[in-house]
Structure 1
Amino acid sequence: MADKENKCSLIAGPMRGLCEEDARRRAGGDSSTGGGITDGASDNVRDFAESIIKKINALVAPKDAWAPKSADSALYEPFLWLGQHLAVAIFACVVVVCGLTAWQGAPRLRQMGASTGWTLAAVAGMATVPGAVMMLNKAVSTAFTAAFDSNEATLFKAILHDLQHGADKDVPLAKLLTVSALVVALAPATLVFITRNLGILAFVCMAPLVLASLARGGDTTAVKTWAMRLLGLMFCPFALLLVSPFVTLAHGSLVVDTVLLLAADALMLRMIFHGIPYFGPQIARGARTFVERRTDNRAAHAVVRAGAPDVYEQENTPHRRRTVNTPGRAVHQDRGVLLAAYGVRQPKRPGRFTAESAIARRREQTADSRSTARTAARRSRSAASPPAPGGSSTP
């Protein structure tokens, strides 16, 4: 015992207490705690991972947002005043125009009635936006927390379980990779926290200006675009739940859990900057190509072509295929939608075909021209050839 105490005296810091405690347990024959200092280190790793996971959850889906909670907030009140006066000004312009064109009769009366109703709805909706957004944010945070705490098949629960009962729980490298991935995941979580809060704040403050466009007569295009962008920001934490079906494939492997964690971070950041991923057209075109290559049945070809027809994508920048909108292009399109809701038409750049679409279209035009040339040549030969002898003649 003295030798062990002497050995522990050579250790400085908090590890000395663990060494002395382990020595006392070994001297007393207490084996109920298992491996002593080894199990203590394993528990410390799990506690550290659990603290990081709690911090990531708090950053990704916080209960409180930076957006104003009520319409009388000092930050939201100037935008509310501007939006209400803008809606009233638009309604006054509509009334003047309807009065000057009253000779048209019922259409102008219907327009003025629709503008009156939409103006009242817009002014009433402006005051309810902050409270509704705050309630929705709390609901999303509560649902996200409940989903991760109650379901054992979620990613973070699987990581905590595999740290104790995984197949590679005794491999130091696997634990190091998992803890390192959790530490690295703090950076995307912080970026998501800042982007979500700033984005929600901007969209809430912009709400009166967007809702004021309804006073023109009920054009809800700008309102729908604004609502979809706002909902995309608020529901982006649920991207972490999209990898839950793949958690069962890990089979208790910490390395696979680390890969899934990095994939979830990348998917969440993509949803922040590019919106919700939509792979439907790509999957449909892939299924059509698979069927066309595997069978020669015309009925099957007709079915897959009806389900996935040929579509030529329009693109402003040629020779570069684009599947999702970049942030700059998305902002440009949203600005165009908002200006169009107010009656201002934004000039559009001429669209061009992508390289792939231009090649496919050229091939089809070449095939059509060849078939047309063959048909014309066949008709000319049939017209120039003399009638067969002995044929019946018409009277």
Structure 2
Amino acid sequence: MPDEPKDNCSLLRGAARTYCEGGSSGSTPGDGSPGEGVANGASDHIKDLANSLISKIQGMIAPKDAWAPHKADSAIYQPFLWMGEHLAVAIFTCVVVVCALTAWQGAPRLRQMGVSTGSTLVAVVAMGSIPGIVEVLHRAVGEAFTAAFNSDEASLFGAIKEDLAHGADSGNPLGILVIVSALVVALAFAALVLVTREPGILVFVCMGPLVWASLARGDASAIRLWAMRLLGLLFCPFALLAVTPFVPLVRGSLVMDGVLLVAADVLMLRMIVHGVPWIGPRVAGAARTYVEGRTSSPLVHAAVRAGAPDYAEQESVPRGPRIVPTPGRAMSQDSRAVLGAYGLRTPSRPGRLTTESAVVQTRRDAARSAAIIAARRQARAAAQPPNPNSAPSTRPRPTGAPAAPSSPPAPGP
């Protein structure tokens, strides 16, 4: 019986045998460079896959080109521009007619007509420049985002690339697979951000002429609301900068890098749907207080007050969770602002909780409500003065004390 070959690669022929011999001898076949054969090649392929996923995520979060039209003569934007211009002219005509019919009021009507004339010209000019401005901002945000996250290793993506090459678990296949899995999950969130952000920008750009037409009445509240929503969609990729302070704390761990990446994508999606987190006004107010306490310049005070104005939060229970407007209520508030700019008043929705939220809040506050009711009863009883016509006390009389008369003595004759 012939001896079995000691080398299993001898059973192969052609390129398969060459590849097997190169993998078992510790060198990569074809180039003669030292390595670890098949395992090293697989690890390099996984790292290349991770770098490719990072590039895809960056391209989806901050793409170079927007879905919105670039010029005012676009076939998508042209009907809205035509409608907005005619609507602004119609509103201006109505304002002129009303001012003419009430010209006996004098200066107020002349002032209103002058404001309406200037506002209409500004609105018509701004309608044609909306696509170009949005395109420039979109491109600037994309380039700034790419430069910020590829500049050094302090950013999240830079830390992931550095950890893939020189991290503590860069040689561990399990750690690399974990970061690749996290990148795949982050890629799904990035795709969700893309399909939420880009159509939103398109809708707000097309809705721009109709909103700016309301400026002919001299009311800029709808324009401010529209501009804030649009700028929120444009600048939301910078929400990833919120996790940058935590990057040095997890440096060298691919698993924690993946956790930070998924958390950043969730935060960015949350900012797209609900706007800036509620902690933002508090941080801005603290910064304003710090600046006002360090300088006495009126110009600086005016600047910080414009950037962080006074605000008041409304809560149902101070120690309970905040009441967050539902998407339906937020859309209703926005539509009321837009219709109000045209002079159309809509009935406001009642400021109350849903049935499910009211039931949960009642159950959660049952013990506290009962304690408050009991404390109020005790305080009310303690503050109540004694009644002189009440029944005599039944306490025992001390020994030797004279008995109190049961009734007052009869008057003498």
Deviation at 1:31, TM superposition (A): 9.8
Measure, in 2, the Cα distance between the counterparts of 1:223 and 1:27. Answer: 63
Corresponding residue for 1:161?
A: 162
Secondary structure at the aligned position of 1:194 is classed as helix
Post-superposition shift, 1:309? 11
Is 2:273 the partner of 1:273?
yes
Deviations 1:103-122 (A, max 9, x none): 11111111111111111110
Matched to 1:97, the amino acid is V
Distance 1:27 1:69, change over 3 A: closer
Note the 1:8-157 alignment, pairs <5 A. Answer: 19-23=20-24, 33-157=34-158
Give me the TM-score of the superposition, normalised by structure 1.
Answer: 0.77
Q: How many Å separate the matches in 1 of 2:277 and 2:18?
A: 52
CA distance in 1, matches of 2:372, 2:184: 53
Counterpart contact for 1:222–1:341, Cα < 8 Å: yes
User: Secondary structure, in 3 states, of the residue corresponding to 1:52?
Assistant: helix
> Per the alignment, in what secondary structure is the counterpart of residue 97 of structure 1?
helix
Q: Does 175-184 or 34-43 show the bigger shift? A: 34-43
The aligned counterpart of 2:258 is: 258
More moved, 32-41 vs 254-263: 32-41
1:169-180 equivalences in 2 (<5 Å): 169-180=170-181
Whether the 8 Å contact between 2:28 and 2:37 is mirrored in structure 1 is no
1:265-297 per-residue CA deviation (whole Å, 9 max, x = no partner) reads: 21111112111212267899xxxxxxxxxxxxx
1:334 and 2:360 aligned: no
Where 1:151 maps in the other structure, the secondary structure is coil
Larger radius of gyration: 2
CA-to-aligned-CA distance 1:359-393 (integer Å, 9 cap, x gap): 88998899789768866749x99xxxxxxxxxxxx
- Contact 1:274/1:324, CA 8 A, preserved across alignment: no
C-alpha separation between the residues in 1 aligned to 2:243 and 2:28?
48
Alignment map for 1:304-343 (pairs within 5 Å): 312-313=314-315, 323-343=323-343
After the TM superposition, which of the residue ranges 233-242 and 91-100 deviates more from structure 2?
233-242
**Structure 2: 5+ residue stretches without partners:** 285-309, 389-413
Q: Contact 1:53/1:182 (CA < 8 Å) preserved in 2?
A: yes
- CA drift at 1:98: 0.7
Shift of 1:187: 1.4
Which position in structure 1 is the counterpart of 2:402? none
1:193-272 equivalent positions in 2, closer than 5 A: 193-217=194-218, 219-272=219-272
The answer to whether the Cα contact below 8 Å between 2:26 and 2:36 also exists between their aligned partners in 1 is no
Residues 235/323 of structure 1: CA separation in 2 closer, same or farther (3 Å cut)? farther
Paired position in structure 2 for 1:391: none
Task: Write the distance in 1 (CA, Å) between the matches of 2:120 and 2:52.
Answer: 50
Corresponding residue for 2:184? 183
Give the letter aligned to residue 259 of structure 1.
Answer: V
Alignment partners' CA distance in 1, 2:178 and 2:186: 12
Partner Cα separation in structure 1 for residue 188 and residue 52 of structure 2 = 15
How far, CA to CA, are the matches of 2:102 and 2:373 in structure 1? 50
User: Match for 1:51: what amino acid?
Assistant: S
Amino acid at match of 2:252: G
CA distance in 2, matches of 1:78, 1:146: 37
**Higher helix fraction: Structure 1 or Structure 2?**
1
SS of equivalent to 1:197: helix
Residue in 2 that maps onto 1:385: none
Residues 134-170 of structure 1 show CA distances to partners (whole Å, capped at 9, x for unaligned) of 0000000000011111121111221121122222223
Q: Distance in 1 between matches of 2:312 and 2:126?
A: 42
Deviation at 1:338, TM superposition (A): 0.3
Within a 5 Å distance, the mapping from 1:372-383 to structure 2 comes to: 377=385
Measured in 1, the distance between the counterparts of 2:68 and 2:193 equals: 15
Q: Alpha carbons of 1:123 and 1:46: their partners in 2 closer, same or farther (altered >3 Å)?
A: same
Structure 1 362/105 Cα, relative in aligned 2: closer, same or farther at 3 Å? farther
Once the two structures are overlaid, the 10-residue window that deviates more, 273-282 or 220-229, is: 273-282
CA distance in 2, matches of 1:134, 1:377: 75
Whole-Å separation in 2 of the counterparts to 1:273 and 1:104: 47
> Contact between 1:188 and 1:265, CA under 8 Å: does it hold in 2?
yes
Partner SS for 2:247:
helix
